Amino acid sequence: METLENKSSKKSSSHEGYVLVTGGAGYIGSHTVLELLICGYNVVVVDNLSNACEESLIRVQTLAGRPLKFYHANILDEQTLIPIFEKYNIWAVLHFAALKAVGESTKIPLDYYWNNVTGSLNLFRVMERFGAYNIVFSSSATVYGQPDIIPVNEKCSLGPVTNPYGKTKLFIEEAIRDMCAANNKWNAILLRYFNPTGAHPSGVIGENPRGIPNNLMPYVSQVVQGRFPFVKIFGGDYDTVDGTGVRDYIHVCDLATGHVAALRKLKTKPGCVAYNLGTGVGYSVLEIIKAMSRACGKEIPYQITKRRPGDIAVVTADARLANAELGWYPKYGLDQMCQDLWRWIDSNPLGYPESSNEAKQILQQMSA
Ligand code: NAD
Ligand code: WQD
């Protein structure tokens, strides 16, 4: 019988050393790990599976036809990270691991500061100890707070940010800027994602739903699946095309290619640079509901309710810096984002299934 391991070993790496991906079993991390493997990078994933499961990585290996190394570990645990840095020649880290729910962060701020900030600082100390000075950090458009201008560019002022989640992103950015200023061995790329959505076009990997989603697209998906009766549109009186909030939605596979472009840029020793990853095109909530409705062929009920505190009318990205300096351009438009999202949820209505023990063992053996 062909196992994942022997199936995966048919293609080999074209890059020296390893890229460590924290949070690589999660939504954006798993799509990026796939892209890294396809591009020939050697990948070690560290994830504590607090918001993910092994199945995403098992599927990534199968899609890529190449193996990865996986450690079920917490970035807060220095004693677990050290042996990983000892074992692999890690030249760069893509740092996705974080708690990410804005609403939840206002209820359990200490957990967010501890996991995201302390976890990151712990990781950076271990990186420094092993001379692994190249990092790509998963930041967010949220660091701009209420942006000065739309579309937002990287020169716009940062903050103030009102929720603990966003503050952790801003704080980690500041820590990285200070590290780079103090020691020119550090090279950091801060990728500020706008509104990630979609799934791999295969429909095999995607965002794993847990609890009631905060974000629009996962919520719309669950209305399509019949888990909620209608989409609550937060505000119909904004100064926008139809009164509903406008955002810059970006396909998760475009984010994945953005990370590979950032890794290439790190090799040119850029110091510390922030890039927006967005399409530059904004869509309203109603436009999103219509596009999703086209993709799944179903009416999506909605009701317009009051504005959500802290929301603003329009946020879109000026991503010309990433276009020019990373040579990165998003490929996917809104219809493709919705079609790919629908393919994923239609084929995996409950998200990832529990992996078989055999599959988990194969994944564990590959890291032994
Ligand atoms: P996700 O929850 O799917 O992925 C995060 C992963 O990190 C999960 O697999 C989780 O198990 C892991 N993790 C969390 N804490 C950890 C710890 N202490 N040690 C090890 N692993 C840990 O989220 P995502 O949507 O893929 O987001 C990835 C990154 O991108 C996050 O840093 C997030 O803040 C950032 N981001 C996400 C969005 C978005 O809308 N999805 C937007 C902007 C920025
Ligand atoms: C999009 C639009 C809502 C849900 C958040 C974080 C940001 C980043 C991306 C991590 C807005 C409207 C939403 C719903 C609605 N994440 N909406 N009904 O707020 O732009 O950004 O996710 O870094 O930090 O703040 O995304 O998907 O929550 O909202 O009407 O049930 O949809 O008002 O206009 P947001 P979102």
- Per-position DSSP letters for 66-89, written without gaps between them: S--EEEE--TT-HHHHHHHHHHS-
Burial, 270: exposed, middle or buried (Cβ in 10 Å; 0-12, 13-18, 19+)? Answer: middle
- The Cα–Cα gap between 230 and 234 comes to 12
Cβ proximity of 20 and 31 under 8 Å = no
| Most informative mutation of 244, 308, 315, 337 for ligand 2 (most atoms within 8 A of CB) | 308
| Global confidence as pTM | 0.96
Those residues whose C-beta lies under 8 Å from the C-beta of residue 113, and which sit 6 or more positions away, are: 164, 167, 168
| Closest Cα to atom 21 of ligand 1 | 47
Structure confidence at residue 32 as a pLDDT band (50, 70, 90):
very high
pLDDT, position 211: 86
Could you give the residue numbers annotated as active site?
Answer: 165
Among all chains, which residue has been given the structure tokens 């739903």?
Answer: 209
305: its two tokens:
């309710």
- The Cα–Cα gap between 133 and 127 comes to 6
Rounded average pLDDT over 243-254: 98
- The Cα–Cα gap between 288 and 268 comes to 39
| Most informative mutation of 45, 72, 100 for ligand 1 (most atoms within 8 A of CB) | 100
Residue 20: is its pLDDT beyond 60? Answer: yes
Convert the pLDDT of each residue in 70-85 to its tens digit: 999 999 999 999 999 9
Rounded average pLDDT over 227-240: 97
Domains of the chain (ranges; CATH) run 15-200+248-278+315-332+350-366 (3.40.50.720)
315: its two tokens:
């946020």
Sort residue 320 into left (φ over 0), alpha (ψ -120 to 50) or beta. Answer: alpha
Please give all residues whose beta carbon lies within 6 A of any atom in ligand 1, as ranges: 22-23, 25-29, 46-52, 74-76, 96-100, 115, 119, 138, 140, 193, 196, 215
Q: Which ligand sits nearest to residue 206's alpha carbon? A: 1
277: its two tokens:
């990853």
Among all chains, which residue has been given the structure tokens 């009318």?
Answer: 313
167: its two tokens:
């503050």
Residues above pLDDT 90, as percent of the chain = 89
Phi, psi (degrees; rounded to nearest 5) at 84: -70, -45
Residue 114: is its pLDDT beyond 60? Answer: yes
Cβ proximity of 84 and 20 under 8 Å = yes
First to last CA, the chain: 22
Convert the pLDDT of each residue in 163-190 to its tens digit: 999 999 999 999 999 999 999 999 999 9
Residue 15: is its pLDDT beyond 90? Answer: no
Rounded average pLDDT over 57-67: 97
Output the CA 335–ligand 2 centroid distance in Å: 19
105: three-class secondary structure by DSSP: helix
| Closest Cα to atom 8 of ligand 1 | 26
Query: Which residue has better confidence, 194 or 14?
Result: 194
172: three-class secondary structure by DSSP: helix
Cβ proximity of 132 and 91 under 8 Å = yes
Among all chains, which residue has been given the structure tokens 């609403």?
Answer: 103
Q: Strand 246-247 relative to strand 283-284: parallel, antiparallel, unpaired?
A: antiparallel
Q: Tell me the angle at which helices 119-129 and 78-87 cross, rounded to the nearest 10 degrees.
A: 40
10: its two tokens:
């048919």
R_g (Cα) of the chain, nearest Å = 20
